[in-house]
Amino acid sequence: MADFVAHRIEQTAQSRPEDARHILADSSLTDQPIRVLKQGDTFVLFDQSGDIRPEKNGEEGLYHDGTRFLSRLVLELEGARPFFLSSTIRDDNDQLTVALTNPDLCREGRVYLPLGSLHLGLKKFLWNGVCHQELRLVNHGIQPARVEITMQFAADFADIFEVRGLQRKARGEDLDPEVSDGRVTLRYRGLDGVVRRTLLQFTPRPKSLDATHAHFDIALLPRQAAVFYLSVECERELESRPSLHFNRVLHFDQARSAAQASLDAHKESACWIEASNGQFNAWVKRGASDLHMLTTMLTTGPYPYAGVPWFNTPFGRDGLITALECLWIEPGLARGVLAYLASTQATEVIPEQDAEPGKILHETRNGEMAALKEMPFARYYGSVDATPLFVHLAHAYYERTGDREFIERIWPNVEAALSWMCRYGDRDGDGFLEYSCQSSDGLVHQGWKDSDDAIFHADGSLARGPIAVCEVQGYAYAAWRAGAAMASIFGRLEQSTDFEKRAETLQSRFDSAFWCDELGTYAVALDGDKRPCRVRTSNAGQCLYSGIVPAGRAGRLSQTLLGPESFSGWGIRTVASNEPRYNPMGYHNGGVWPHDNALIASGLARYGMAQEASRIFTGLFDTAMYLDLHRVPELFCGFPRDPGEGPILYPVACAPQAWSAASVFLLFQASLGLTIDGTASKISFVRPWLPPFLNEARILNLKLAETNVDLAVVRHEHDVSVKVLRSRGDVEIVVVM
């Protein structure tokens, strides 16, 4: 899961409104398409008409640094909403384009402007904390047209946790708005001493302007056009510092050029995939565009924010898994994730933050409520898996790039993480990583399934901690092996031997303690009394990814995972349908998560089960084909697949979501058995295969240090061939059939 939130719609009635861990599900994101833009620390949610109307879906708005800076923006034509024609986010995720027209407009019982006479074209994008809008009106009628356009606007300056339903005991002060010369400044002084301002600038100047409305009288001859611009700047300043007031805001065209130049530079340097299947290309392109949009450049490098709307911030687990999913295609993202998490690694025991020396961050927040400690998540460390995943990614990044200098720089952080695994992660010394919440407001469960009811026994009773979750033991196994490999590289042979022995011991003890032969799978967890939670879940599938599963168990485990109780036809459910807490609409108790499935497919391929992995790849491909913009969401429902019908969406799933967007790249890598040895400039394909919907694919501009290469992979009746199309520099290509 991307957040501390247990946002389960089936529990809304039982959830307290003041519970910061729950997203109130009083509206569905599936009611109508929500159009999302994000750039840096700013994101915006529009309805399909390009409006912001929070009374429809309460989360719509323009957000910056955890605060909603614009809570209303509604375009009206002659006092009513225009007719909707179409809207779309460009393939590159950089601009929303909306087409509107007029209804039949009447005066004194007669139509003075027939339906479809005016075309209203909207373009909207974000750049450097500013939302830019262009409205172009064209008269396609044969008569002159005179109409009034009104733009309604408001800013509630709600903290994102308020938008999610958390009630505050007190808020700051709404300051008097300022209106002058086509400009409006809406202001709020928070209890944290920060003045937040929303600065709206209209060009040309409206006929009339106040603190909530801008009015334009427009007269157009046939074929004549008129263009209007609006910029909305999000600004937060200490009250002692003066406002910059519009001085830094670029004109629409200037900002658009700057945004396009940045996008072009990214695309020129990126590796990409082109396939014979155009629908697959659309999925890949949307995934790449979503990932680029969600990635924010921090001082430590690029970091993929977890998702929009609720998770537009760094999350440890999400960033690490996202980086692993696309490591082969974009290793720079892994470096940025490692650098940021090293810089925020805990150095002391802070119970209210679940922080302990060496522990890796779970999430961080920048809003007013976080600054005031109205919840513990300004910096929160309540995840048991981010720390071993940090170590695992560090070694995987080194293998991919050969960047020894960087790994040497963060080696003290790696050692601190491994030390945490021994001292704090394994509290009872049994070799397993366990969690128990130290913060009174923190997470009960601290694996990726962190809903309050996610870990339970076969009779449905909830497990009590400290809890050792099965996939986390796999992450720990991978971390010990990664630590051993890195220690060996640095000549620390005694340390390397110790880490390797820990990995071997853990693998043996794990299989003995967790395997449930009667279920054909691993128990999802051990509870505080070391009793196995004998429940069929997807968690066991992730154990294949880490390699902790003995080879003799993998086939039986795969049969369980792909049996009808677990595999819906679209993907593997989080909980099998024959378990007591199964709910196909359950967040962690029956839904299907793309990132989870990608990790499982990668694990199946690791154990040589190509056909089984192909079923998951194909199921998620089919899912993407049914979805708006081919955008794979955070999760979808676990109902069985019916012929001729699409998957059922989860009503409050985040989309885009970083680890869902990146899942296609791990699935593709798994299908090819693709590994890259950056230290030796070697690309290997081990038992490559392609799913039935792919006959051919090209990997273009794949980089290894100073080398880049273009490759083609082609599916034949019984195998896959690999051909080098272009190579700059020395690179070895190995294909193992």
For the chain, what percent of residues have pLDDT higher than 70? 94
Of the listed ranges 2-11, 86-95, 615-624, the least confidently predicted one is: 2-11
Beta-carbon neighbour count of residue 109 at 10 Å?
A: 5
What does the pLDDT read at residue 441? Answer: 81
Nearest alpha carbon to residue 653 among 666, 668, 634 = 634
Q: Is the peptide bond before 204 cis (omega within 30 degrees of 0)?
A: yes
pLDDT by residue (tens digit) across 358-407?
999 999 998 889 888 887 678 999 999 999 999 999 999 999 999 999 99
- Cβ atoms of 363 and 4 within 8 Å: the answer is yes
Residue pair 421/468 in contact (Cβ under 8 Å)? The answer is: no
Contact 525, 455 (CB under 8 A): yes
Mean pLDDT for the chain overall: 92
**471 HSE (CA, 13 A, CB side):** 22
- Among the ranges given (48-57, 594-603, 728-737), the one the predictor scored with the smallest mean pLDDT: 48-57
Give the pLDDT mean for 344-366: 95
Burial zone of 249 (CB within 10 Å; 0-12 exposed, 13-18 middle, 19+ buried): buried
**Environment class of residue 175 by beta-carbon count within 10 Å: exposed (0-12), middle (13-18) or buried (19+)?**
middle
The residue that leads in pLDDT, 7 or 91, is 91
- The partner residues of 303 in beta bridges, in order of sequence, read 296
Residue 373 pLDDT = 84
Q: What is the mean pLDDT of residues 471-479?
A: 98
Which DSSP symbol is given to 194?
E
Hey, which residues does 35 pair with through a beta bridge?
A: 46
More confident residue, 83 or 441: 83
Q: What is the mean pLDDT of residues 555-572?
A: 98
Look up residue 412 and give its amino acid: P
CATH topology classification for 32-262? Beta-galactosidase; Chain A, domain 5 (2.70.98)
Residue 559, C-beta contacts closer than 8 angstroms, at least 6 positions apart: 520
CA atoms within 13 A on the CB side of 393: 33
Cα distances from 412 to residues 347, 356, 622, in angstroms, run: 12, 16, 44
Structure tokens, 147: 């109409």
Closest CA to 307 of 68, 676, 659: 659
At 709, which helix (H) or strand (E)?
Answer: strand 707-715
Q: Residue 51 is inside which H or E element, if any?
A: none
pLDDT of residue 18: 42
User: Which helix (H) or strand (E) segment is 225 a member of?
Assistant: strand 225-238
Q: Domain residue spans in the chain?
A: 32-262, 298-627
Rounded average pLDDT over 293-318 = 95
- Of 468, 616, 450, 594, give the one whose Cα is nearest residue 528: 468
Out of 123-127, 206-210, 242-246, 368-372, which region has the weakest mean confidence (pLDDT)?
242-246
pLDDT, tens digit (0-9, with 9 covering 90-100), for 217-238:
999 999 999 999 999 999 988 6
More confident of the two residues 248 and 214: 214
Would the CATH topology of 32-262 be identical to that of 298-627? no
Top mean-pLDDT range of 115-129, 360-374, 715-729: 115-129
pLDDT of residue 652: 86
In contact, 719 and 735? CB cutoff 8 Å? no
Quick check: helix, strand or coil at residue 626?
A: helix
Q: Which CATH architecture has domain 298-627?
A: Alpha/alpha barrel (1.50)
Interatomic CA distance for residues 710 and 702, integer angstroms: 6
At residue 241, the pLDDT reads 43
Instruction: Give the gyration radius of the chain's Cα atoms.
Output: 27
DSSP string covering 403-446, please? -HHHHHHHHHHHHHHHHHIIIIISTTSSSS--B---STTS-S--
Q: According to the model, what pLDDT value does residue 10 have?
A: 34
DSSP SS3 for 265: helix
User: How far, CA to CA in Å, does 712 sit from each of 273, 683, 699, 715?
Assistant: 10, 13, 6, 10
| Partners of 217 in beta bridges | 148
Cα 637 to Cα 332: distance, rounded to the nearest angstrom: 33
- What lies within 8 Å, CB to CB, of 265 at 6+ separation is none
Each residue of 446-455: pLDDT tens digit?
999 999 999 9
Lowest mean pLDDT segment, chosen from 233-242, 446-455, 502-511, 578-587: 233-242
Q: DSSP states of 718-733 as a string?
A: S-EEEEEEEEES--EE
> Is the model's pLDDT at 704 over the cut of 70?
yes
Convert the pLDDT of each residue in 415-426 to its tens digit: 999 999 999 999
Residue 295 has pLDDT above 60, yes or no: yes
Cα-based angle 459, 464, 466 (whole degrees, multiple of 5): 140
